[in-house]
Amino acid sequence: MRTFPGSKWSIKHNDVDLFDVRRRPWYTQGSSSPKDMLILIDTSGSVHGQALSLIKVAVKSILDTLGENDFVNIANFSKSVTFVSCFETFVQANHRNKKILKEGVDNLQAKDMANYESALTFAFDEFDKFDNSSDSGAKCNRMIMLLTDGGTDDAEKVFNERNFKRPDEDQVRVFTYAVGQTANPNRGIRWMACANRGKFSEIPAMGAIRARVQGYVDVIARPVVLSNRHDMKWNSVYRDGLVQIFLSISNHIKMVPY
């Protein structure tokens, strides 16, 4: 990273450095294309205590990676599927909307049994309704983020009928997260991610959330980098940690390790 004009960086050697440039608005917007994202949260009875707490923090971390070019909504599922807030469709991922979604996540409680097929069917229905009823949206990457404590159901029938038959450019990516230290198998949710151009990640503890959540950005940025196109991209205006207004320009460069 280079900054202009240059300034001396103050380093406090006795403090823990928690600053992560990958969580800054200019990085999250510049490193990937705009997204339409639906987050599915497993709130079945097996997801309780620490697992549910980890899921809530992980979902908020995912929201923090989104910018004003992205559209998002969150639903929780067990035997039925419901949105966590008053939003009944995808909304722009601005500060106000993300705050409302985070408040809805905080109120979630675990009960009943998980039904992956109904949750994923609900997700594809919402994408179809959004495409047919609105001219807004990112119209670029579409993705489902599924957070659960694991399970054997891979919902292959749903993907065969609702995703695999779509043209490649219209298919929905699926990213799955196995949250908490659990003995539940994760073969099913691992297959979901691998078969739908996504990524499977495990979040066993609070310290793993930031790194594992951020991993999806690299996956959706990969096609842009591999295309060898070097299009300059203007990012949204944002307030930096120095309480100044910034506007950044980004470009993708393929790094070759030595």
Domains of the chain by start residue, with CATH: 33-230 (3.40.50.410)
Q: Which pLDDT value is given to residue 25?
A: 67
Going by pLDDT thresholds of 50, 70 and 90, the confidence category of residue 3 is: low
The angle formed by the CA atoms of residues 110, 60 and 58, to the nearest 5 degrees, is 65
Position 67, amino acid: G
CB 27 within 8 A of CB 249: no
For 221-244, how does the pLDDT look when each residue is reduced to its tens digit (9 = 90+)? 776 655 566 566 666 666 666 656
Q: Is the pTM of this model over 0.85?
A: no
R_g (Cα) of the chain, nearest Å: 19
The one-letter amino acid code at 119 reads A
Residue range 91-103, pLDDT digits in tens: 999 999 999 999 9
The pLDDT assigned to 136 comes to 77
Grade residue 258 by pLDDT with cuts at 50, 70 and 90. very low
Q: Which of 80-94, 139-153, 231-245 has the lowest mean pLDDT?
A: 231-245
Helix (H) / strand (E) containing 36 = strand 35-42
